[in-house]
Amino acid sequence: MGNRQPQSGLSHVVGTIDQPLLELTIPQVLARTVAAHPDREAAVFVQEGLNWSYSTFAREVDRFAGGLVRLGVRKGDRVGIWSPNNSAWLLTQFATARIGAILVCINPAYRNHELDYALNKVGCSTLVTAAAFKSSDYLAMLNALAPEIADSTPGDLSSGRLPHLKRLIQIGENTAPGFLSFSDVASMGDTVEPAHLDTISESLSNREPINIQFTSGTTGSPKGACLTHRNIVNNADNVTATMRFSKADRLCIPVPFYHCFGMVMGTLGCVTKGATMVIPGEGFDPAQTLQAVSDQRCTALYGVPTMFVAELELPDFDRFDLSHLRTGIMAGASCPIEVMKQVQARMNMGEVTIAYGMTETSPVSFQSDVDDPIEKRVSTVGRIHPHVECKVVDDRGQTLPVGKQGELLTRGYSVMQGYWNDDERTTESIRDGWMHTGDLAVIDSEGYCDITGRVKDMIIRGGENIYPREVEDFLFTHPGISQVQIFGIPDEKFGEVVCAWIVPSDDSLTDEEVRAFCKERISHFKVPTHVRFKTELPMTATGKPQKFVMRDSMMDELKAGMEKPP
């Protein structure tokens, strides 16, 4: 039942309920798949040279889960993961779920300022971390935040600045002082009986939180969205069902695990179907991705539009065998029609789908079908997911007629439990069961949804959500900045880029100094591409900043060729 088309001419759609929701925990889903497909390939980590069957994968999960138990990690404890894509990340995801510990996803691009906030906000007792990634030296940042690490007994940290953090587990070789080795912790699990882990798993409820995802707020600091087993198991199941996944599918996952795109729609989605996860490398590289698709005979590929553009633009594109590709997901930003046509024709992805959602809704609410017309796949984000309900409302909360723009609201199993330890912001976002997305949308007479903008001024740069207030609050900590406004402008490569208009308190301040101040402290994608110094900022009569005036002025200036992006 349920109707994906609006009824009574109103922008209100309800997903089908033909198939019941899975009332399973993550360990139950994995156990079910292992029982059905023990010898099928579960995961291939190309860069690491690893290839696991489902039975081997489950055994490795249990080893690390047992090690965490031996260390004293218990149900409800928060375990952070700060790392690019690798096998240890995947094991941590399923091992924490096995024992009911809450996995806290930390963006690999975070710097000290953001890491400090995240670890303390949710009270992480354990952190699994890589040593470094790209320009980020994770060990150096951790030691800067907690100088006590170097002289601490591994597994027994006592830090003034990170009072909750007790255990640091390092991925890889050459473990640093004060850190436990990931492989050693897994070895500790060899002495823990699977029956003991089964007892823990059987005590879990699928309505308990199992994952915290940080999503930046328009009012400042990041919020920790609490997702339950039920939230993400069912979203993973429905996302892959919409692509008509089966155990025969092989999904290439170049998108980051730390986000729902990678760990819910990707890894967990594969586990719900017994499909194979193929991970090309730690971070996105277009040639590495297509090589993995080619060598591993992948049937599906994920990415944001800029990833697909980078793949299509490879000078040796034609050397890759993409003949096995069938489907996949493009999400995170709108897709130009020419890109979609090329993905379908040149990459053999005739059944590629578009998906839309938000972290707080686990994440997907709308997704196109594999056989939707191309016009619908580029002009909309598809139709409502099963067991989800959405409507478009005006500023009084009244449901609008079909074709009218308003704020999109979502209700159903996928809505998060709430923001960790933040009742005020939870009740602001979820009212009468409806998640207020903050996105502007239009729903047509067939039930297709078009995301037309944002109620507030969120910037989406290359699939990464950036909230101006968070960057503004950070820049205000610079002694040479008196006022600052952050806004986005369109960009051909990234969709949008960040601009900063600053009233300096120190006239000697330069744009290079501003960027340097940002680069060591906040994620690279939040660093302003364009910096302008002003004597005053455009405001309304009531003192509210007029970002649209700044945006228009900035675009006019750049159009006139006055600046090339750095």
> What is the DSSP secondary-structure string of 79-106?
EEEE-SSSHHHHHHHHHHHHHTPEEEEE
Amino acid letter, 34: V
* Spans of all domains in the chain: 49-221, 459-559
Look at strands 50-53 and 300-303 and give their pairing.
Answer: unpaired
CATH placement of domain 459-559: 3.30.300.30
Q: What is the pLDDT of residue 544?
A: 59
Using CB atoms within 10 A of its CB, is residue 193 exposed (0-12), middle (13-18) or buried (19+)?
exposed
Torsion of CA 542, 544, 547, 550, to 10 degrees: 60
CA dist., res. 486 & res. 500, Å (int): 5
Query: pLDDT digit string (tens) for 398-416?
Result: 999 999 989 999 999 999 9
CA dist., res. 387 & res. 385, Å (int): 6
DSSP H helices in 244-336: 260-262, 269-273, 286-295, 305-312
Closest CA to 355 of 269, 467, 247: 269
pLDDT along the chain (566 residues), means of 10: 81 96 98 98 98 98 98 98 98 99 95 94 98 96 98 98 98 97 98 97 98 72 94 98 98 96 98 98 97 98 90 96 97 80 96 95 97 91 97 96 96 98 95 94 96 78 84 89 90 93 92 93 95 87 70 91 56
Rg of the chain (C-alpha set): 23
CB 166 within 8 A of CB 149: no
Instruction: Tell me the CA distances in angstroms from 218 to 228, 458, 469, one per residue in order.
Output: 24, 7, 6
Letter string b/e over residues 310-321, b meaning 16 or more CB atoms within 10 A of that residue's CB:
bbbeeeeeeebe
CA dist., res. 82 & res. 104, Å (int): 9
Instruction: Tell me the CA distances in angstroms from 486 to 121, 427, 525, 547, 552, one per residue in order.
Output: 25, 27, 13, 8, 13
CB 192 within 8 A of CB 442: no
Q: Which residues contact 93 (CB under 8 A, 6 or more apart)?
A: 81, 103, 257, 263, 267, 268
Q: Which H/E stretch holds residue 255? A: none
CA dist., res. 540 & res. 500, Å (int): 19
Query: pLDDT digit string (tens) for 34-54?
Result: 999 999 999 999 999 999 999
CA dist., res. 160 & res. 336, Å (int): 50
Amino acid letter, 477: T
Read out DSSP for 472-525?
A: HHHHTTSTTEEEEEEEEEEETTTEEEEEEEEEESSTT--HHHHHHHHHTTS-GG
CB 525 within 8 A of CB 109: yes
CA dist., res. 368 & res. 357, Å (int): 12
Residue 389 is given by DSSP the state E
Query: pLDDT digit string (tens) for 178-194?
Result: 999 999 999 999 999 99
Q: How far is CA 115 from the centre of its chain?
A: 16
Q: What is the pLDDT of residue 548?
A: 82
Phi-psi region of 529 (alpha: psi -120 to 50; beta: other; left: phi over 0): alpha
> Token pair for residue 447?
């039930």
> Token pair for residue 33?
């798949």
CA dist., res. 395 & res. 404, Å (int): 13
Q: What is the pLDDT of residue 365?
A: 98
Q: What is the pLDDT of residue 539?
A: 75
E strands, 288-350, are 300-303, 327-330
CA dist., res. 91 & res. 111, Å (int): 24
- A 10 A CB-CB count for 396 gives 6
Q: Which residues contact 505 (CB under 8 A, 6 or more apart)?
A: 479, 480, 481, 482
Q: Which H/E stretch holds residue 239? A: helix 229-242
Q: What is the pLDDT of residue 543?
A: 52
556 forms bridges with which residues in the sheet? none
Look at strands 418-419 and 430-431 and give their pairing.
Answer: unpaired
Instruction: Tell me the CA distances in angstroms from 53 to 59, 82, 446, one per residue in order.
Output: 10, 26, 42
CATH placement of domain 49-221: 3.40.50.980
Q: Three-state SS for 345?
A: helix
CA dist., res. 306 & res. 311, Å (int): 9
Give the N- to C-terminal CA distance of the chain in Å, as an integer. Answer: 54
CA dist., res. 282 & res. 125, Å (int): 25
Q: Which H/E stretch holds residue 54? A: helix 54-71
CB 65 within 8 A of CB 197: yes
